[in-house]
């Protein structure tokens, strides 16, 4: 008798199975896509550390989260909104845009437009079978689809607060910025308990379009965040993305940018802070599919306690991407002997007439700067905090101005 | 200004210090009283800057022998920030650039730390701005430098002005100025020196570390000391600096050779 091989099933695979079992049957405008994704997810092994892409990113803590979909969210304790900001609060099963007066230049995508545009994104098309994306699609009850025409004067603020709910929430946003349009988008992801937030943002930037995108993600030691940003950029478009993530038990951030024909400008600024046993992993990928594209990327990390920070920055410059000008810098601060930083620039350059700079530094707080501050009467903890604040502020100040109402700097410094 | 019955502010006795197991200071003795200006001269590597850093409490240097009493208390047991708060000031030879830390915020926090120690009220943002504006005049510094990061992108001269501005705000009892004249053009040297002279009074004291007579033409020292091989080998009045300017340090080498020390 031949024994059947013992199949090792990870806790995350079991969790996935339980989650799929408990989901309501596919329904609503996304029903067919949900059904496909659920089938796909069912047969997809959960990410594990033996896969290169997940080598340093152990998602096992997600298996501790109750495998069920969250159906209602409480209204977040958000700062007072100014008249320069249109706030959209994302619940779980309610339509977040119901009753919201969109500013001039923003219109809703109808069902047909949504279906035509969804999945057209070049990054997503090549990411079929990517576990976090399939998970999102399997659960997300709807896609928030918006078209941007002309310059939108107000900042669009999307707020999703998972609160202390137990379970999983999925958010999917699709933005189409038409030629020469302009939008400032602030995405606020919050959590205060044992839950998983899965968020996918798809963006199409047509010629000359400009998007300033801020992600402020403040979590809880028992919470998890899987955030995926997928942007297609046509020539002369500009993307400036700043992300600030802190406090999640597990956080994976995947900004994927594709300059479809080169000639676009991409600016990425990121800051992630880990403490206790937290893990924050940013896996970015920028691809130039044509000449004369530009990238300016700065990734910063602060690791304290037993925290672990991971950065993997892929830059792809194929033969057709001549005269690309790309710069990537990773700067990390280690604040404890037990914390860990893994940083890896990954430049894949085939074109021969390009400028591609990269650098990575991992250090403690500068001792000469600390001594200088102390020699002026500033006590060591205060001196360290001044230096830490300066380190963080370089990215925080790049968030859209609307983010400052959320007091990101104070929240970050309180947590370290 | 020499006043024989002035209180002793700092008393350094047989001070030995090392960095990375390398002895640098080998028995420094120096007493400074209120109202006095001392100049410390000597060749590169003679231990002048090390002495200044040891007095300020730089963690890279360890004191192996001797004592430093400041206003009667043991200075060496105090942390750098405590030393500053009780009135010891080091004007850095190479002021550190700290990107992202606002110069104005830094000056306010440090000034308030010193004020609290002196039993004075902290200054709020507005009161401090008035105070700093008044002190800026001492070093003729452009207020725009307050809005920048600490020393970031400052020229050598601007950094030194910023150091003296800090001295003006902190009002130390003992100011150790390490090569404050280096990197200054002629006009800036005059301005910075005038600022130091204005801050000098009967209650405080200044230790000037310099290589050049040009600074001592503008800030008149009461005493001049020559340092070599980690100790003070000769002390005198301002005429000693003029003698050094004329004759250099060869006599020091000969003296050390005779003692069998290099």
Contact B93, B182 (CB under 8 A): yes
C-alpha span between A96 and A187 (Å, rounded): 14
Task: Provide the Cα torsion B46, B48, B49, B53; round to 10°.
Answer: 120
Q: DSSP 3-state helix, strand, coil percentages of chain A (rounded to 5)?
A: 20, 40, 40
Chain B hits for A394, CB-CB cut-off 8 Å, are 99-100
**What's the average pLDDT block by block, 10 residues per block, for chain A (416 residues)?**
51 95 88 91 92 92 95 82 89 77 93 80 72 94 93 96 95 96 97 96 97 97 97 98 97 97 97 96 97 98 97 97 97 96 94 95 94 97 94 95 94 84
Chain A hits for B79, CB-CB cut-off 8 Å, are 374, 380
Closest CA to B176 of B73, B45, B20, B37: B37
Interface of B with A in 139-178 (CB under 8 A): 149-150, 166, 170
The alpha-carbon gap from A392 to the nearest alpha carbon of chain B, in Å, equals: 9
Compute how many other C-beta atoms are within 10 angstroms of the C-beta atom of residue A387: 20
Helices marked H in chain B: 48-56, 80-85, 103-117, 125-139, 156-170, 186-199, 213-218, 238-247, 250-259
C-alpha span between B256 and B258 (Å, rounded): 5
Provide φ and ψ at B164, rounded to 5°: -70, -30
> B62-80: per-residue pLDDT in tens?
999 999 999 999 999 999 9
Cβ–Cβ gap A373/B106 under 8 Å: yes
Compute how many other C-beta atoms are within 10 angstroms of the C-beta atom of residue A165: 22
Instruction: Please name the residue that has the structure tokens 């120690």.
Output: B117
Q: Which of A300, A376, A381 to mutate against chain B (most B CBs within 10 Å)?
A: A376
Instruction: Please name the residue that has the structure tokens 């006095």.
Output: B36
C-alpha span between A280 and A247 (Å, rounded): 9
Residues 6+ apart with CB under 8 A from A48: A10, A12, A54, A58, A59
Residue A203 exposed, middle or buried by CB count within 10 Å (0-12, 13-18, 19+):
buried
Give the total residue count for chain B: 262
Cβ–Cβ gap B81/A371 under 8 Å: no
The alpha-carbon gap from A372 to the nearest alpha carbon of chain B, in Å, equals: 7
> Would strands B98-102 and B149-150 be described as parallel, antiparallel, or unpaired?
antiparallel
Closest CA to A300 of A222, A162, A397: A397
Q: What pLDDT, on the 0 to 100 scale, is given for residue A390?
A: 93
Q: What pLDDT, on the 0 to 100 scale, is given for residue B261?
A: 60
Q: What pLDDT, on the 0 to 100 scale, is given for residue A6?
A: 44
C-alpha span between A212 and A183 (Å, rounded): 6
C-alpha span between A62 and A226 (Å, rounded): 10
C-alpha span between A38 and A33 (Å, rounded): 9
Provide φ and ψ at A12, rounded to 5°: -70, -35
C-alpha span between B172 and B165 (Å, rounded): 12
Give me the residue spans of the domains in chain A. Answer: 11-75+83-367
Instruction: Please name the residue that has the structure tokens 């701005």.
Output: B129
C-alpha span between B92 and B56 (Å, rounded): 10
First to last CA, chain B: 34
3-state secondary structure of A12: helix
C-alpha span between B54 and B257 (Å, rounded): 27
Compute how many other C-beta atoms are within 10 angstroms of the C-beta atom of residue A36: 14
First to last CA, chain A: 59
Q: What pLDDT, on the 0 to 100 scale, is given for residue A3?
A: 44
3-state secondary structure of A333: strand
Question: Residue B228: in which H helix or E strand, if any?
Answer: strand B223-228
Find the closest chain B residue to A371 by CA distance.
B58
Q: What pLDDT, on the 0 to 100 scale, is given for residue A125?
A: 65
Residue ranges and CATH numbers for the domains of chain B are 8-95+172-259 (3.40.50.300)
Helices marked H in B22-102: 48-56, 80-85
Segments in chain B below pLDDT 50: none
Q: What pLDDT, on the 0 to 100 scale, is given for residue B35?
A: 96
Handedness of CA A81, A83, A89, A95 (dihedral sign): positive
C-alpha span between A107 and A178 (Å, rounded): 12
> A180-209: per-residue pLDDT in tens?
999 999 999 999 999 999 999 999 999 999
> A46-104: per-residue pLDDT in tens?
999 989 999 999 999 999 999 999 987 777 888 888 879 999 998 766 788 887 889 99
- CB nearest to B96's CB, from A369, A377, A382: A369
C-alpha span between B48 and B179 (Å, rounded): 10
The alpha-carbon gap from A222 to the nearest alpha carbon of chain B, in Å, equals: 32
Is residue A382 less than 8 Å (CB to CB) from chain B? yes
Q: What pLDDT, on the 0 to 100 scale, is given for residue B260?
A: 66
Is residue B103 less than 8 Å (CB to CB) from chain A? no
ipTM of the complex: 0.95
C-alpha span between B221 and B39 (Å, rounded): 6
Q: What pLDDT, on the 0 to 100 scale, is given for residue A2?
A: 43
Q: At what angle do helices B103-117 and B125-139 cross, to 10 degrees?
A: 100
């Amino acid at each position: 008798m031949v024994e059947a091989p013992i199949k090792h099933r990870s806790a995350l695979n079991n969790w996935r199975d339980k989650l799929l079992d408990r989901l309501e049957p596919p329904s609503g405008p996304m029903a067919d896509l949900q059904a496909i994704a659920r089938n796909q997810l069912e047969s997809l092994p959960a990410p594990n550390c033996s896969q290169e892409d997940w080598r340093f990113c152990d998602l096992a803590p997600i298996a501790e989260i109750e495998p069920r979909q969250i159906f209602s969210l409480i209204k977040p304790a958000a700062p007072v909104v100014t008249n320069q900001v249109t706030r959209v609060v994302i619940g779980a099963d309610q339509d977040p845009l119901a009753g919201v007066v969109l500013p001039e230049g923003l219109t809703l995508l109808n069902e047909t437009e949504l279906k035509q545009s969804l999945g057209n994104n070049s990054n997503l098309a090549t990411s079929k079978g990517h576990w976090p994306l399939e998970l999102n699609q399997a659960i997300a009850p709807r896609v928030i689809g918006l078209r941007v025409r002309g310059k939108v004067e107000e900042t669009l603020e999307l707020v999703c607060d998972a609160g202390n709910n137990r379970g999983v929430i999925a958010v999917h946003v699709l933005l189409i910025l038409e030629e020469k349009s302009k939008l400032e988008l602030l995405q606020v992801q919050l959590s205060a308990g044992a839950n998983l937030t899965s968020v996918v943002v798809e963006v199409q930037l047509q010629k000359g379009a400009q998007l300033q995108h801020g992600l402020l993600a403040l979590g809880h030691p028992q919470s998890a965040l899987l955030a995926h940003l997928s942007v297609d950029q046509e020539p002369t478009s500009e993307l400036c993305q700043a992300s600030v993530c802190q406090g999640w038990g597990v956080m994976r951030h995947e900004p994927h940018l594709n300059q479809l024909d080169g000639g676009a400008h991409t600016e990425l600024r990121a800051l992630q802070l880990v403490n206790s046993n937290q893990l924050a992993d940013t896996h970015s990928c920028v691809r130039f599919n044509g000449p004369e594209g530009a990238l300016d990327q700065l990734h910063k990390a602060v690791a304290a306690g037993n925290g672990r920070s991971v950065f993997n920055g892929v830059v792809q410059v194929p033969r057709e991407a001549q005269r690309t000008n790309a710069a990537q810098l990773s700067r990390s601060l280690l604040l404890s002997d037990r914390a860990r930083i893994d940083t890896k620039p990954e430049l894949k350059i085939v074109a021969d007439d390009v400028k591609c700079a990269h650098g990575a530094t991992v250090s403690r707080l500068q001792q000469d700067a600390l001594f200088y501050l102390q020699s002026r009467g500033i006590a060591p903890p205060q001196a360290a905090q001044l230096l830490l604040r300066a380190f963080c502020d370089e990215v925080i100040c790049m968030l859209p101005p609307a983010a400052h109402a959320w007091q990101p700097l104070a929240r970050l410094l309180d947590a370290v | 200004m020499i006043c024989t019955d002035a209180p002793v502010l700092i008393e350094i006795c047989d001070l030995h210090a090392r960095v990375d197991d390398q002895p640098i200071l080998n028995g420094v003795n120096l007493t400074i009283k209120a109202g006095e200006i001392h100049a410390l001269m000597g060749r590169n590597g003679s231990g002048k800057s090390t002495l200044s850093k040891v007095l300020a409490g730089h963690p890279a240097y360890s004191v192996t022998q001797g004592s430093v009493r400041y206003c009667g208390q043991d200075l060496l047991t105090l942390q750098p920030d405590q030393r500053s708060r009780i009135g010891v000031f080091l004007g850095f030879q190479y002021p550190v650039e700290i990107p992202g830390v606002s110069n104005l915020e830094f000056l306010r926090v440090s000034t308030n730390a010193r004020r609290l120690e002196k039993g004075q009220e902290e200054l709020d943002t507005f009161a401090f701005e008035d105070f700093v504006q008044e002190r800026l005049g001492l070093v003729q510094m452009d207020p725009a430098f307050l809005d920048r990061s600490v020393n970031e992108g400052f020229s050598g001269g601007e950094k030194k002005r910023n150091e003296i501005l800090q001295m003006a705000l902190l009002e130390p009892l003992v100011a150790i100025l390490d090569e404050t004249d280096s990197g200054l053009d002629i006009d800036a040297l005059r301005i910075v020196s005038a600022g130091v002279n204005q801050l000098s009074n009967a209650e405080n004291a200044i230790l000037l570390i310099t290589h050049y007579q040009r600074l001592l033409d503008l800030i008149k020292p009461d005493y001049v000391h020559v340092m070599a091989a980690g100790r003070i080998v000769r002390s005198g009045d301002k005429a000693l600096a003029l003698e050094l300017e004329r004759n250099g340090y060869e006599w020091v080498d000969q003296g050390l050779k005779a003692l069998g020390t290099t």
